[in-house]
Amino acid sequence: MSVSMRRIGLVAGREFMAAVANKGFVIGLLLMPALIALLAVAFPRLMTQRAEAIRGEVAVIDHSGQIAGPLRAALTPEAIAARRFETTRRALENAPAAVRSAAGSSSSAVQRVVGAPPELTILDRPVTADLQAEKQWLTEPPAPGGLRHLALLVVQPNAVVAGDGRTDYGTYELFVPENIDERIETELYDALRESLVSARIRAHNLDRSQVEAVMRVRRATSVTVAAGAERQTNVAFNRMLPFVFAGLLVFSVMIGGQTLLTQTVEEKSNRVIEVLLSAVSPIELMAGKILGQMAVSMLVLALYVGMGLFLLMSFAMFGLIDPLLILYLVIFFVISYLLFAAVFSAVGAAVNEMREAQALMTPVVLALMAPWIFAPVIGREPNSTFSIALSFIPPVNTFAMMIRLASPTPPPTWQVLATMVIGLAAACAVIWFAAKVFKVGLLMHGKAPNMATLMRWARQA
């Protein structure tokens, strides 16, 4: 019998409407972006809540005799805040402009994220102090209303001036009680480093600002030169891009395939299938279902890609993405979706209920998850023998190629075309096999089928 496109279209239309026109779909679609947004908004706030100013006493034994004073100055809350601000500013220098402006440029903004600077009281101890007694002091609970004993710093004698003509400076020892906030150690190190460097430079009769100027080389953001266009390279973005594309591909194939599976199992278990078969042939039914769900997945994909592009545009980073990548995403989606959808629908037709589907689905889901496992390897070495081999082995080839295409060093065109041809051929072969299983499986009720049963059905049909 000739296959009727009209009937395929009707089945596809019903599938699409059944999937899209319900609350579950809309909720599911919006849930993920909503969760991400929630995390982005709520997470920093949660962090801030915890960051409460630390107050306490720090005892210092200064064997060098030159550090106690500068250290005291470097540990005032103002000095700590200034240092933090400087660190953040430097970190943000490499971030895109939009992130910089979003992060804010005031020290109060920095404080909001990392919390208020600690309030530390410095207690100078004489160089003759007994180390054991001072350690004991750390473990003593504070006097009622007094401050907590936070740390004991012992600055070594040669910390500022090394021996004659030598460069091996001494350093410091740090003793802390149990259960101390590790951020205190960082603050103490930063302050001590600041004080020691200043003191050492002074001891050599040098000008600190000159030394720093000599040491500083600003790191440039590279510019990617492509034929006819130049755009800012963004290392973090480039590293993420392959994963994003692989994720989109896996996710959209998964959405369509999963729905196809459950819908087919449902149609079979509530016995609507034979009613349908009086009107459409199994092939028309399968084709219609696959195409209908493909439209659903396309819609989801378009929404997520659109959302991503919108975000990029709003951060003025649109130029970072090659529009051709989106075309490739669509092509590879179609190829890998057809392959997996055929398998999902055949499994759906073969089993009696979802529970039985699990065993048959395990290899399929593993095949779908393989790209996730290989993504870091392919992303790092997009042109290694392993990556090239993977991009020719179905069903992971389309995913591997997508990762390579999105990587900083895209593959040659012939490889992309080869992946498409191999992918399409594999999809056709799988559809041919799946259609046979689908045809026989639809009316089979009873024992849960295994792989061997499916092979037998395919031979029978």
Considering the rule CB under 8 A, would residue 443 count as an interface residue with other proteins? Answer: yes
* Range in contact with other proteins (rule: CB under 8 A) among 11-19, 35-43, 58-66, 367-375: 11-19
Nearer to other proteins, 149 or 439 (CB): 439
Tell whether residue 270 is a contact of other proteins (CB under 8 A): yes
- The amino acid that residue 280 corresponds to is V
The torsion defined by the Cα of 200, 216, 108 and 120, in degrees rounded to 10, comes to -20
* Region of 4-12, 115-123, 318-326, 416-424 interacting with other proteins (CB under 8 A): 4-12
- Cβ-based nearer residue to other proteins, 14 or 100: 14
Q: Is 277 in the site for other proteins (CB under 8 A)?
A: yes
Distance in Å, CB of 251 to other proteins, minimum? 25
Question: Which CB atom, from 59 or from 280, has the smaller least distance to other proteins?
Answer: 280
> Is residue 275 part of the contact set for other proteins (CB under 8 A)?
yes
**Least distance (Å) between residue 4 CB and other proteins:** 9
Cα distances (Å, whole numbers) of residue 309 to 118, 225, 241, 242: 42, 22, 12, 15
User: Cβ distance 256 to 296 under 8 Å?
Assistant: yes
In sequence order, the 6+-apart residues with CB closer than 8 A to the CB of 151 are 58, 59, 138, 174, 175, 176, 180, 184, 185, 188
d(C-alpha 13, C-alpha 36), whole Å: 32
Our CB check for other proteins shows the closer of 279 and 316 to be 279
Q: Is 280 in the site for other proteins (CB under 8 A)?
A: yes
Nearer CB in complex with other proteins: 327/443: 443
For other proteins, the closer of residues 116 and 461 by Cβ is: 461
Length of the chain: 461
The tokens for 320 are 């970072």
Q: Are strands 172-175 and 223-226 parallel, antiparallel or unpaired?
A: unpaired
Angle between helices 282-314 and 235-269 (to 10 degrees): 150
Least CB distance from residue 229 to other proteins, whole Å?
Answer: 49
Q: For residues 75 and 60, what is the distance between their CA atoms, to the nearest angstrom?
A: 12
| H or E segment to which residue 152 belongs | strand 149-155
Round to whole Å and give the CA distance between 161 and 311.
Answer: 54
Closer to other proteins by Cβ: residue 40 or 275: 275
Q: Which of 67, 250, 273, 406 binds other proteins (CB under 8 A)?
A: 273
Which of 23, 271, 447, 459 contacts other proteins by CB under 8 A? 271
The window from 14-22, 57-65, 333-341, 352-360 that contacts other proteins (CB under 8 A) reads: 14-22
Closest to other proteins by CB, 187 vs 284, is 284
Please identify, among the stretches 8-16, 122-130, 228-236, 385-393, the one whose residues bind other proteins according to the rule CB under 8 A: 8-16
- 61, 129 Cβ separation under 8 angstroms: yes
Q: Does 22 bind other proteins (CB under 8 A)?
A: yes
Interatomic CA distance for residues 316 and 377, integer angstroms: 30
Interaction between residue 276 and other proteins (CB under 8 A): yes
Contacts of 458 (CB under 8 A, 6+ apart): 433, 436, 437, 440
Nearer to other proteins, 94 or 258 (CB): 258
Find the binder of other proteins among 179, 205, 278, 385 (CB under 8 A): 278
**Residue 260, interface with other proteins (CB under 8 A)?**
no
Are the CB atoms for 364 and 340 separated by under 8 Å?
Answer: yes
Q: How many of the chain's residues bind other proteins (CB under 8 A)?
A: 21
Q: Site mask, other proteins, residues 398-437, x = CB under 8 A?
A: ----------------------------------------
For 225, 232, 320, 393, the CA distances from 381, given in Å and listed in that order, are 21, 22, 21, 17
Mask: binding to other proteins, 136-175, rule CB under 8 A, as x and -? ----------------------------------------
Among 30, 274, 386, 412, binds other proteins (CB under 8 A): 274
Confirm if 281 and 3 have CB atoms less than 8 A apart: yes
Task: State the minimum distance, in angstroms, from the CB of residue 340 to other proteins.
Answer: 24
Check binding of 1 to other proteins (CB under 8 A): yes
Which of these ranges, 10-18, 27-35, 359-367, 400-408, lies near other proteins under the rule CB under 8 A?
Answer: 10-18
Distance CA 459, CA 100 (A): 63
CA distance to 43, 108, 350, 395, per residue, from 40 (Å): 6, 19, 43, 35
Residues in touch with other proteins (CB under 8 A): 1, 7, 10-11, 14, 18, 22, 267, 270-281, 443
